A and B are shown apart, each in its own frame.
Chain A
Amino acid sequence: MLARLHSYAVLGMDAYPVEVETDLSRGLPAFNIVGLPDAAVRESRERVRAGMVNSQYEFPLRRITVNLAPADVRKEGPSFDLPIALSLLAASGQLESESLEVYGAAGELSLDGSVRRINGSLSIAEAARQARCRGVLLPAANAEEAALINNIEVIGVESLSQAVEFLKGEAAIAPARVDALALLSALRSDRLDLADVKGQEHARRALEVCAAGGHNLLMTGPPGSGKTMLARRLPSILPPLDIAEAIEVTRIYSVAGRLNSGRSLIASRPFRSPHHTISHIGLTGGGGTPKPGEVSLSHLGVLFLDELPEFSRQALETLRQPLEDGRVSISRALLSVTYPARFMLVAAMNPCPCGHLGDARQPCICIPQRIASYRSRISGPLMDRIDVAVEVPGLTKKEILSGRNRESSAAVAQRVASARKKQSERLAGTNTFCNAQMSVGQTERSCHTSAAGARLLDSAIERLFLSARAHHRILKVSRTIADLEGVTGIEPQHIAEAISYRSMDRRGWNGV
């Protein structure tokens, strides 16, 4: 007896169809799975046996061969439990149904026959839709996230017996439905507000400029000056995720297995702040069975690297590709996957090893050579990808206590949104969304400076000893500042402000 069932496996961001074929034949009782299964798939024999028996089905004492086709791609994870069990029931005559041909299935079995949640169900539902299935059986816990995909029935099942009854037509299960827009507004939460930050006018303004143009930001300042506090409030002034973006982000989290019930849609911009001991694999993603790393988990959001010079050199250098291309490709001997990674980088660092250079509250005890070696841990190529660098001074107790109430995130977000709108109008028809992503050619086309502005930029580069590579960066940032003001031409004051955000181009950045 032979039975066939559609299932799906996740590779990278996408799922691909896998045919689960089960054959029962005469011979000594045996249970073999072929088609490059990994350990988790091979162990599924035990889960399938126990799950079937405990659901009051008979486990056939025959020679059982399960083939996962295509046979030359490695299969991993426990999501084949459910389709193997179903095809085994079909092959042994316990489940006869025409629905088997139009429904796909994926899910992990528990020993008592219940179905547990799996990773990547959103990608699986998408693959099933592309394969023109009528529907797909998924663990009930994953049904809500998978239902974000339209035009396919997502059947959430709690247990193996429920799945069998549904396929036999004995019990009806309504396809899961979600109102994505309602979910988006219900789950959207911004508890942090920029109004909480006292003082730090310059840094606040820099944050606004970065949010408006999508520029990467580096904050330098003594401990306790509010760098982390500022960074955490960046998502609150960025334009909220629209539904397409939310689904894009949710899909990454689904593949990474980071969704839980009650949070089936990522509705706010991600904010990730990995610890500085993170490995380069942890940042970019990868591993034996590739998983998205921190750069992908912060896709369309903010990646915050606190204590930037403490990150390993290798980890920092791997950031270069995603910062440039907005995605990260991981190639290994057996496979090659690409994850999206278009994030805003916000980095924070102390000005020197002791942390108190320029701090009014405590003197710095570092010798210049140590400051130089501390700062040179951040390579030039990485620095080249950071548009804005500001110094965040330490606040005295008096300043913290006397800080006036500042603008709220909502007010800033409004300005940011209108600046972004100007950019998307100007960059319409290209695959660039904000000023920070403009190529050299685009920068030259869209950054028209007045004659006075150009003169200022030239004399600044000459008199302030700015490096030549600063030229385009300053133009991009001044473009954003002009957008925030709502004007078309770049005026000298925009350029001057942009120069004030380039402290890394100044002499003395890398020590004396």
Chain B
Amino acid sequence: MGSDRRAALALTCFMAEYGWPLRVPAGKMTIRELWSCPDRLLAGLLKLPAAETWRIEAFRRSFSAGQMFEELRRKDVTLVTLGEEGYPPCLAEIHDPPLAIFFKGSTDRLDEFMRQPRLAIVGARRASLYGIDAATALAGGLSRHGVCVISGMAFGIDSAAHRGALESRGGTIAVLGCGPDVVYPVTNRLLYASLLESGLVISEYPPGTRPRPWRFPARNRIISGLSRGVVVVEAKEKSGALITADFALDQGRDVFAVPGSIFSDLSIGPNRLVRGGATIVTGAGDILEEYGMELESTQEKSVRETPQDLEENEKLVLKATSERPRHQDELAARSGVDGASTAAALVSLEIRGLLKFEQGHGFRRSNSS
């Protein structure tokens, strides 16, 4: 068993370093047998050009599995290889599963997430506020109903999906196109930290691997592979999100799309998917219904949870709020409470977690508590 792991690690590291989208031939032999093939034969099996065979030889000389295991221990990265117990079964069934996955987070958490229903939410990096809001709301709604949200931790929609899930205290998995210890983009380091805290970071690349353009399409097959369905929020014509949707179709997963304006570039992707038969999503409920899961009414929830110990002004102000953000002046006018007291009431309601403040928009009912 140990040498199987060793062989899988070696082969994974070689492929990550080589950078060519190599395919491991399925079925015929075990990974250990494959790795112990002579160089020439291995190159042939991996469909490596004959002139590149020397790379295998060079790699075998410089690679030390022991050192790599040591590095994994030091960086607190867990390795699971294909065929081992703990390897996500749904990932094993796709036609080119990664030989090994590296993840940061506990094995228990991975098991827990693998028992939950999982959905991917993907979309454009340069998203609009509409897309960000939609991704956050969908992720929040799904994770409140026990769905694990999977995405790629890129700018824009991906980050919004992770945030939405984290804010609702739900499970979320980020599948990276670089080593699991590499934060890319760096501006997401806070998100990365909270993912480590309550989510999971997965990659098929060994620690320290830098992000490279060709690695992102490859990781998209893992995003869709881990999920039961893929929701595309916003995507331009040539978007990585559409690659993920293609993988999802190949792998027999469902494809959902959030419709958008017909005049926006960012809606071309999802609208085209809808035309091609993807299920339209207008809220978390649409997806849950598709899977026969019960939708808890948020209406009931907020009524049930409104605390009784509020002051008179706070009650009036809270009554004036809605699911859509409203500016403080509007709330003052609706509640009939004077400006300064409204300001005070809003802050105190926000501290209790009943309201949420959104930059530029004002206060809205919080549905995440």
Partners in one complex: yes
- Please give the residue numbers on chain A whose beta carbons come within 8 Å of chain B beta carbons, in ascending order: 199-202, 204-205, 220, 351-352, 357-358, 364-369, 391, 393, 456, 459-460, 463-464, 481, 492-494, 496-497, 499-501, 503, 506, 508-509, 512
Measured in the bound complex, the distance between the Cα atoms of B327 and A406 in whole Å is 19
- Contacting residues, chain A, for B333 (C-beta < 8 A): 201
The answer to whether A367 and B126 have CB atoms under 8 Å apart is yes
Considering the complex, give the chain A residue whose CB is closest to the CB of B311: A493
Measured in the bound complex, the distance between the Cα atoms of B360 and A200 in whole Å is 15
Considering the complex, give the chain B residue whose CB is closest to the CB of A203: B329
Task: Give the interface SS of chain B, mostly helix, strand, loop or mixed.
Answer: helix
Measured in the bound complex, the distance between the Cα atoms of B362 and A364 in whole Å is 15
Most chain B beta carbons < 10 A, residue from A459, A501, A512:
A512
A202-B329, A351-B360, A506-B359 are contacts. A464–B343 as well, Cβ < 8 Å? no
Smallest CB separation, B195 vs chain A (Å): 16
- Contacting residues, chain B, for A368 (C-beta < 8 A): 127, 129, 132, 156
- Contacting residues, chain B, for A358 (C-beta < 8 A): 325, 327, 359-362
The interface bits of chain B over 313-356 (1 if a CB of A lies within 8 angstroms of the residue's CB, else 0) are 00000000000010111101100000111011111101101000
- Contacting residues, chain B, for A365 (C-beta < 8 A): 128
Measured in the bound complex, the distance between the Cα atoms of B126 and A509 in whole Å is 18
Partner of A512, one of B160, B339, B343, B344: B160
Partner of B155, one of A369, A481, A500: A369
Considering the complex, give the chain A residue whose CB is closest to the CB of B361: A358
Task: Confirm or deny: B159 has a beta carbon within 8 angstroms of a beta carbon on chain A.
Answer: yes
Measured in the bound complex, the distance between the Cα atoms of B346 and A184 in whole Å is 44
Considering the complex, give the chain A residue whose CB is closest to the CB of B347: A496
Task: Confirm or deny: B357 has a beta carbon within 8 angstroms of a beta carbon on chain A.
Answer: yes
The answer to whether B344 and A393 have CB atoms under 8 Å apart is no
Smallest CB separation, A482 vs chain B (Å): 12
Task: Confirm or deny: B358 has a beta carbon within 8 angstroms of a beta carbon on chain A.
Answer: yes
Partner of A499, one of B129, B327, B341, B347: B347
- Contacting residues, chain B, for A481 (C-beta < 8 A): 340
Smallest CB separation, A265 vs chain B (Å): 37
Smallest CB separation, B241 vs chain A (Å): 16
- Contacting residues, chain B, for A508 (C-beta < 8 A): 358-359
Smallest CB separation, A71 vs chain B (Å): 61
- Contacting residues, chain A, for B357 (C-beta < 8 A): 464, 503, 506
Q: How many contacts between A and B, using CB within 8 angstroms?
A: 99
The answer to whether B129 and A463 have CB atoms under 8 Å apart is no
Measured in the bound complex, the distance between the Cα atoms of B159 and A503 in whole Å is 23
The answer to whether B343 and A500 have CB atoms under 8 Å apart is yes
Q: List 11 A-B contacts (CB under 8 A).
A: A201-B332, A201-B339, A205-B339, A205-B340, A352-B360, A365-B128, A368-B129, A496-B346, A499-B347, A508-B359, A509-B359
Measured in the bound complex, the distance between the Cα atoms of B187 and A512 in whole Å is 11
The answer to whether A503 and B343 have CB atoms under 8 Å apart is no
The answer to whether A391 and B362 have CB atoms under 8 Å apart is yes
The answer to whether B343 and A496 have CB atoms under 8 Å apart is yes
Considering the complex, give the chain B residue whose CB is closest to the CB of A503: B359
Smallest CB separation, A430 vs chain B (Å): 28
The answer to whether A202 and B350 have CB atoms under 8 Å apart is no
The answer to whether B351 and A500 have CB atoms under 8 Å apart is no
- Contacting residues, chain A, for B332 (C-beta < 8 A): 201-202
The answer to whether A459 and B159 have CB atoms under 8 Å apart is no
A202-B329, A364-B129, A509-B359 are contacts. A456–B346 as well, Cβ < 8 Å? no
Smallest CB separation, B356 vs chain A (Å): 10
Smallest CB separation, A395 vs chain B (Å): 9
Considering the complex, give the chain B residue whose CB is closest to the CB of A375: B359
The answer to whether B328 and A202 have CB atoms under 8 Å apart is yes
Measured in the bound complex, the distance between the Cα atoms of B350 and A464 in whole Å is 8
Extra A-B contacts (4), CB below 8 Å, given A368-B132, A496-B344, A508-B359? A201-B329, A365-B128, A460-B347, A512-B132
The answer to whether A464 and B359 have CB atoms under 8 Å apart is no
The answer to whether B360 and A497 have CB atoms under 8 Å apart is no
- Contacting residues, chain A, for B362 (C-beta < 8 A): 358, 391, 393
Measured in the bound complex, the distance between the Cα atoms of B346 and A471 in whole Å is 19
Smallest CB separation, A370 vs chain B (Å): 9
- Contacting residues, chain B, for A367 (C-beta < 8 A): 126-129
Measured in the bound complex, the distance between the Cα atoms of B330 and A494 in whole Å is 21
The answer to whether B127 and A493 have CB atoms under 8 Å apart is no
A456-B348, A508-B358 are contacts. A199–B129 as well, Cβ < 8 Å? no
Considering the complex, give the chain A residue whose CB is closest to the CB of B187: A372
The answer to whether B341 and A493 have CB atoms under 8 Å apart is yes
Measured in the bound complex, the distance between the Cα atoms of B338 and A493 in whole Å is 13
The answer to whether A493 and B344 have CB atoms under 8 Å apart is yes
A358-B362, A512-B160 are contacts. A463–B329 as well, Cβ < 8 Å? no
The interface bits of chain B over 116-127 (1 if a CB of A lies within 8 angstroms of the residue's CB, else 0) are 000000000011
Measured in the bound complex, the distance between the Cα atoms of B129 and A393 in whole Å is 18
The answer to whether A512 and B351 have CB atoms under 8 Å apart is no
- Contacting residues, chain B, for A459 (C-beta < 8 A): 351
Partner of B339, one of A202, A391, A492, A494: A202
Measured in the bound complex, the distance between the Cα atoms of B340 and A492 in whole Å is 12
